[in-house]
Amino acid sequence: MTEQKGKIIHLAPFEEAIGTLHDLNEVNGAIIARLGNVVLALPPELGPKLRPLLGRRIDMLKTDIPGKVYLIREIAARTMDRTLETPDVRRIAERS
């Protein structure tokens, strides 16, 4: 997937974003998160969950699971170079 710089993205189900969580802002009732070089629009209820992860490298997956629409995990430094490639998941990866 090709992203334009500065474009705000809404993740589709089973779409994933990986990168360092640089900042969070609330705009018009949504959370705008800069994850790597990608800017994501997220629901406001994710703000308290994401705020402690500022400055850390995370993986965020949107699902269709009721009650678990967004799965978020911190990526440990020792596992950053070993990610599984799954053909069913579209990635929006941080470009360094």
Per-residue pLDDT tens over the stretch 61-88: 999 999 999 999 999 865 545 554 444 4
Q: Is the pLDDT of residue 94 over 50?
A: no
**At residue 2, does pLDDT exceed 70?**
no
Quick check: 1 pLDDT over 80? no
Q: How far apart are CA 42 and CA 61, in angstroms?
A: 12
pLDDT level of residue 53 (50, 70, 90 thresholds): very high
Q: Write down the pTM of the prediction.
A: 0.72
Domain boundaries, the chain: 9-93
What are the two backbone dihedrals, phi and then psi, of residue 60, each rounded to the nearest 5 degrees? -125, 125
Those residues with Cβ within 8 angstroms of residue 82's Cβ, 6 or more apart along the chain or in another chain? none
User: How do residues 8-37 score in pLDDT, each as one tens digit?
Assistant: 999 999 999 999 999 999 998 899 999 998
